[in-house]
Amino acid sequence: MTSPDLTVLVVDDDFYVAELHRRQVDEVPGFRALEPVGTAAEMRRTLAETPVDLLLLDVHLPDGSGLDLLREVDVDAFVLSAASDGETVRRALRRGVVGYLIKPFASGVLSDRLRAYQRYRNVLDDRGSVDQEALERALRILHSGDAAKAASPSRSATEQAVLEQFDHADAAAAAGAEGAAGEEGDAGTPVELSAADVATRVGVSRATAQRYLAALAADGLVTMKLSYGTTGRPEHRYSRG
């Protein structure tokens, strides 16, 4: 079963800013934005009714401080605020925010941070335990922004080709085309590929495909799960993160 879209709630009393951020969230694959809210009371009601993965939270709200709200909720949060004094930033970090963006920020910064957060979640997957190396890698991904985007020109041609197979397979599934043997999924659901599938598509050995897939999974760019058949060892299957 592939992961559903991450649900984001924008909390900002400026309607135009909130709507801008909502649109930016919806433009990033793998994310779904709820209708923005402008007060602490509305945020509490929404969280009581709807599971939320990530808050985009302003500091100054008409009925309270966004930083005080962080004491009440058990949800990942980015602070998006014009508050730039060191004490406010430190207080936000002490209260557990996973990101802090100072308004105004350049176009595309939020999208990059969301993609980094998605990769961070892919590495710290709920389905299994992590070791110290994975934990430190996840934190580097989270705090470096979308490092994968910046580093993409330097990726090897083979690694890039492996990654592109997931985009091709997802596009084919969305268009209703028949996928290659071993693919599972439907429109809107990321297709899962095995190392053997990728090896055939790229024209490399299965061992080579497995090595690149493992590296991409470590970077949070693809997700891996074990598929248990009726007999034999479980198979590693991968989908786009």
Q: Say if residue 22 is in the same domain as residue 138.
A: yes
Q: Contact at 8 Å (CB) between 165 and 172?
A: no
Note whether 162 and 222 are same-domain residues. Answer: yes
- Does 104 lie in the same domain as 36? yes
Q: Identify any residues that bridge with 211 across adjacent strands, giving them in sequence order.
A: none
Q: The domain containing residue 226 runs over which residues?
A: 155-240
Burial class (CB in 10 A: 0-12, 13-18, 19+), 223: buried
Question: Among positive and negative, which fits the CA dihedral 230, 201, 124, 55?
Answer: negative
Q: Which of 147, 165, 190 is the last residue of a domain?
A: 147
Q: What is the pTM of this model?
A: 0.67
Q: Cα(237)–Cα(134) distance, rounded to whole angstroms?
A: 19
Q: Looking at the structure, do residues 176 and 94 belong to the same domain, yes or no?
A: no
C-alpha 39/C-alpha 148 separation (Å) is 35
Task: Note down pLDDT in tens along the chain; length 241 residues.
Answer: 345 789 999 999 999 999 999 999 999 989 999 999 999 999 999 999 999 999 999 999 999 999 999 999 999 999 999 999 999 999 999 999 999 999 988 878 999 999 999 989 888 876 667 788 888 888 888 887 655 554 444 457 788 788 788 878 777 776 764 444 455 544 457 788 888 888 888 888 888 888 888 778 777 778 777 776 655 667 788 887 6
Together in a domain, 82 and 137 = yes
CATH number for the domain that contains residue 227:
1.10.10.10
Q: Of 34, 33, 36, 31, nearest to 14 (Cα)? A: 36
* CATH code for position 73: 3.40.50.2300
Residues 96 and 162 placed together within one structural domain of the fold: no
Tokens found for residue 47: 């969280």
Residue 93: half-sphere exposure toward Cβ, Cα within 13 Å = 10
- Whether residue 197 sits in one domain with residue 126: no
Q: Is residue 13 part of a domain?
A: yes
Q: Are residues 49 and 129 in the same domain?
A: yes
At a CB cut-off of 8 Å and minimum separation 6, what does 20 contact? none
Quote the crossing angle between the two packed helices 195-202 and 206-218, to the nearest 10°. Answer: 110
Element (H, E) at 240: strand 235-240
